[in-house]
Every structure is written in C-alpha cells, then in structure tokens.
C-alpha cells in the first residue's frame, strides 16, 4: 500500500517563529513531491514542489527532500497568522499521486 503520512497536529507556533511540517512516504519509487495549503472552506492550493534531494527555497518557504529516508518537510520562516491553515503533503508519479491527511498549523499573534 502506497502511503503518505503526516502528523495531523495541530501544530501551534508563535508569530515570527519557524514552522516545521513533516511527511514520510512508503513508495520508494515516488519521484515528485508537493505541499498544498488549504484554508478552511477552500480547496488545496499548491505552494511548493520538489523533485530532487536537498532543499528548495521559495520566499519564506523551504521544502526539503531526503529520498534515502523517504522524508519530505516544509519549513515556513517568519510565520504569520495568515499561514494558519492545513498543509497537505503529496507524493508519487504520473497518474498516481497520494495525499497525506494534512497537518493543521496555527500561528498565534
């Protein structure tokens, strides 16, 4: 069974802190990994994708991929209350993408 697992949280961090979201996956053949942000009542919005081992930075967001450990993470620097949402991790290949259950993040002012 191909699975993507996340800690459901909730994760609470103070404003300005670094939020660290983690994800593991079971399928070693997975090549592509994504982080989506989902605000309450809204649909998932793609915020980061990563295909290669290492770090990928985009503004306040850094995605980290370690294929040997089958581990993906998302760091949010200088967290803002507007970052409060559920973050979904996804991984897989063409036509076979698996989503984690999501981690609920709350950034407290």
Binders of another protein among residues 4 to 33 (CB under 8 A) are: 32
Q: Encode burial over 78-91: b for 16+ CB neighbours within 10 A, e otherwise.
A: ebeeebbbbbbbbb
CB within 8 Å of 95: residues ≥ 6 apart: none
Which one, of 2, 52, 60, lies nearest residue 27 by Cα? 2
53 touches another protein (CB under 8 A): no
Which of 17, 22, 49, 56 is in the footprint of another protein by CB under 8 A? 49
91 touches another protein (CB under 8 A): no
Q: Which residues are bridge partners to 48 per DSSP?
A: 35
CB-based contact 49:37 (threshold 8 Å): no
CB of 66 to another protein, least distance (A): 19
93 touches another protein (CB under 8 A): yes
45 touches another protein (CB under 8 A): yes
Which of 51, 55, 77, 78 is in the footprint of another protein by CB under 8 A? 51
Binding site for another protein (CB under 8 A): 32, 34, 36, 42-46, 49, 51, 88, 90, 92-95, 97, 99-102
């Amino acid at each position: 069974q191909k699975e993507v697992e996340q800690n459901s949280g909730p994760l609470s961090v103070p404003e300005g802190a670094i939020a660290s979201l983690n994800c593991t996956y079971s399928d070693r053949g997975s090549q592509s990994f994504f982080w989506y942000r989902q605000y309450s009542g809204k649909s998932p919005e793609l915020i980061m994708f990563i295909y290669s081992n290492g770090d990928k930075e985009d503004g306040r967001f850094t995605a980290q991929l370690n294929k040997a450990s089958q581990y993906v993470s998302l760091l949010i620097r200088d967290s803002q209350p507007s970052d409060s949402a559920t973050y979904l991790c996804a991984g897989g290949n063409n036509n076979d993408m698996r989503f984690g259950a999501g981690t609920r993040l709350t950034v407290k002012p």
